[in-house]
Amino acid sequence: MKFPPHAWRTRSSNRLSSVTNVEYSDRASSDQRISINPAGQPSILKGKVKSKMKLAKYLSIVALLLAPFATQLQAQVLQGNVAGAASLWIEAGQGAAANGNCAWTSKTKGVTYTLDSRVPSPYNQENGNLWVSWSPGTGGTCAAPTANSAVYTYISLDAVTGSRCLFAQPQCTINTTAAAGTAGANLLPGVTDTPLPAGVLAAFNGTAINVAATDLLPADAEFAVYSTLALCGPLSSGTQFVGLGYGPATNGYGTTINSFYSSGSFHTVNFNVYGNDPITGSPIPAYVITPVGAAPILVFVNTLNANGFGSSALTNINTAQLGLIYGGIFVRTADVLPQAFAGTGSTYYGITALTREPLSGIYNTFDHSIPNNKELYRSQEAGNCPTNGAYGVSTNPLNLSRTVGTTTGYRNRVIGSTEMITEAQAVQDSIGYAYWSSGNFANNSNIKYLTVNGVDPLFNTYTNGAIPDTGNGLLPSVTLSHVADGTYPIWSEERFISFAAGATAAANLSNFAQNLVSFGAGATQPDFVTSPNLTVFHAHYAPAFVNFSATNTASDGTRVCGAGSAPEDGADSGGLVFSQQAGADYCVLKGNYGASGGIGPTNTASFGIRQ
């Protein structure tokens, strides 16, 4: 059992060129030795061939012995290298495996990572869990795939870092220090890893990222890194958004963001999504957006203290309560329990609000929807910038406290969804948030989820906050109906972003992930509303300080304004929710449904479109 920090806390390129010659020697005749080089070609090292028949025998034996080895040495065909959000990592990997592919995974820090050649070490390297998937190829097997085997990889970072790895010019590369034959970590539920074949390793190791997995549009991702690196204080007059002070990015990078609970970290490195790279000056290609689906962000609390967040009376939290906890105003569990004022002398319990890194998509979606919306104007980083108009933060890792009476509450940084859920299960009276998926919340304990504004994110109606997993039999009852109808207030679309050359890989990966999702009797992964079944959207807008196209014109896309209208572009994090019917009606109202000027309800409308 863990308690909050402070008063309640009690715990503390292996390449083919490196393959040496393999020799075969006939013990019965030592005057002949045949060497097989990495290309699989035999050569006589010494001695004379006394018999053509004997030589033929040697060659036949060698061919039989080395057939599997030679097959592995054939470099397979790389289709897609993905970097980005953890929210799709499991689903895309399982979906690829379910498509008849083989798999290898790794979670050892420093073994699988991306490299950004634009900046020096250590800012160039981001570590992450990796899956590799490949087809056996014609006549091949998982252990010995043939040359037409198709290879995909996906390294789990965060949404902004994944976008940066795609848009950086040159793009980041994906790398591993694992050798051929290394056993996998079996990280994908229901999938058994195959030791990494040499040809598969050669296909991806050191190659460029060509797909970003993200719950943020490119303009949202660039705005996130812009605000993170900006001077402390308001970004401009009249906006609720602030600079977080992790710059300056004089050489392209700022201050590394660290976890309070571990050695986890992410580097803040600059990038653009349109025009030229801010570090190298190289041009950036046009990007393609491939939709996948939409998932809710669950808000959950630790249940170890029956008199605090573990109270059965706590089932719901509203936007104001949630935003003011994460904005550093509310610090007592009693502030969200439905009760009268208990008095100044009563016993109270402090909240530990677990906060993701500002380069994650979920941080930005949550921030724009809840604490930093148009009603509350409170950043999750509020109080961490000591001086407006200057760089530098008060705490890194984030470790902020506030005392009301004799009760102290805390806001502490976690890196990644796994650490978020792990610490929420361990730290008494903690509150956290993470994207729903059966993989993210497998085998959870000591936490329950809450409705937000009385709306359930998972089921048609709320019962007791038990989070579905394979052990409690609740997965077939998950409907995500209030994501599908847009009434749950914290959700985001998940997408793959690519350039034209990676669009086919992005589409395949989207199909892999969507094909895995199921609802109803027997369902084991009701993880998101698939894109074809999503009939609501967040209004798009042009964020300040970011160039995402030649005109910076946001568009809700052809699904709203019809074929022939402007393609999807701009930002949508924290945009108001509309049905596709309402969006299309707006286009009809403006007389541009199906026309090139059709963009839907965006920041150009005569009404506000931000939450």
Question: What would the pLDDT profile of 331-348 be if each residue is shown by its tens digit?
Answer: 999 999 988 999 998 999
Q: What is the pLDDT of residues 465-523, one digit of tens each?
A: 999 999 999 999 999 999 999 999 999 999 999 999 999 999 999 999 999 999 999 99
The DSSP symbol for 448 reads E
The pLDDT value recorded for residue 237 is 79
Backbone angles phi, psi at 7, to 5 degrees: -60, -35
Predicted confidence band of residue 20 (pLDDT cuts 50, 70, 90): very low
Handedness of CA 327, 333, 339, 343 (dihedral sign): negative
The pLDDT value recorded for residue 598 is 97
The DSSP symbol for 541 reads B
Average pLDDT of 268-296?
98
The pLDDT value recorded for residue 36 is 31
**Does the pLDDT of residue 5 top 70, yes or no?**
no
User: H-helix or E-strand containing 102?
Assistant: strand 102-106
Q: What is the pLDDT of residues 442-469, one digit of tens each?
A: 989 999 999 999 999 999 999 999 999 9
Distance CA 291, CA 56 (A): 57
The residue type of 216 is L
Residue 340, SS3 per DSSP: coil
- Selection from 304, 595, 565, 256 nearest residue 446 by Cα: 304
Q: What is the per-residue DSSP string for 112-179?
A: EEEE-TTS-TTTTEEE-EEEEEE---TT--SSS--TT-EEEEEEE--HHHHHHHHHSSSPPEEEE-PP
Cα 97 from chain centroid? 19
The residue type of 488 is Y
Q: Between 351 and 241, where is the model more confident?
A: 351
Distance CA 151, CA 80 (A): 7
Q: What is the pLDDT of residues 405-453, one digit of tens each?
A: 999 999 999 999 999 999 999 999 999 999 999 999 998 999 999 999 9
Handedness of CA 125, 131, 136, 137 (dihedral sign): negative
The pLDDT value recorded for residue 75 is 63
Q: Between 178 and 109, where is the model more confident?
A: 178
Q: Between 45 and 534, where is the model more confident?
A: 534
**Does the pLDDT of residue 60 top 80, yes or no?**
no
The DSSP symbol for 456 reads -
The pLDDT value recorded for residue 45 is 33
Contact 287/273 with Cβ under 8 angstroms?
A: yes
Query: Which range among 59-63, 221-225, 598-602 shows the weakest confidence by mean pLDDT?
Result: 59-63
Average pLDDT of 100-107?
93
Q: What is the pLDDT of residues 564-594, one digit of tens each?
A: 999 999 999 999 999 999 999 999 999 999 9
User: H-helix or E-strand containing 402?
Assistant: strand 399-404
In this structure, which CATH number among 3.40.50.300, 3.40.190.10, 3.30.565.60, 3.10.20.90 belongs to the domain 295-491? Answer: 3.40.190.10
The pLDDT value recorded for residue 154 is 98
Q: Between 276 and 7, where is the model more confident?
A: 276
Q: Between 405 and 13, where is the model more confident?
A: 405
Sequence-distant (≥ 6) Cβ neighbours of residue 257 within 8 angstroms: 228, 246, 265, 266, 267, 268, 357, 358, 359, 396, 397, 413, 415
Distance CA 80, CA 96 (A): 12
CA atoms within 13 A on the CB side of 186: 3
**Residue extent(s) of CATH 3.40.190.10 domains in the chain:** 295-491
Query: Which range among 53-67, 128-142, 440-454 shows the weakest confidence by mean pLDDT?
Result: 53-67
Residue 577, SS3 per DSSP: strand
Other beta carbons within 10 angstroms of residue 206's beta carbon come to 13
**Does the pLDDT of residue 38 top 70, yes or no?**
no
- The DSSP bridge pattern shows strands 211-214 and 77-84 to be parallel
How far lies 28's CA from each of 25, 32, 54, 131, 381, in Å? 9, 10, 11, 47, 76
The residue type of 63 is A
Q: Between 15 and 390, where is the model more confident?
A: 390
The pLDDT value recorded for residue 216 is 98
The pLDDT value recorded for residue 101 is 86
Sequence-distant (≥ 6) Cβ neighbours of residue 120 within 8 angstroms: 251
Predicted confidence band of residue 15 (pLDDT cuts 50, 70, 90): very low
Residue 399, SS3 per DSSP: strand
Q: Between 74 and 273, where is the model more confident?
A: 273
For the chain, the first-to-last Cα distance in angstroms comes to: 38
Contact 436/297 with Cβ under 8 angstroms?
A: yes
The pLDDT value recorded for residue 229 is 98
Predicted confidence band of residue 19 (pLDDT cuts 50, 70, 90): very low
Q: What is the pLDDT of residues 70-79, one digit of tens each?
A: 333 456 899 9
Average pLDDT of 182-187?
97
Q: Between 567 and 69, where is the model more confident?
A: 567
The residue type of 552 is N
The pLDDT value recorded for residue 69 is 34
- Mean pLDDT, the chain, as a whole number? 89
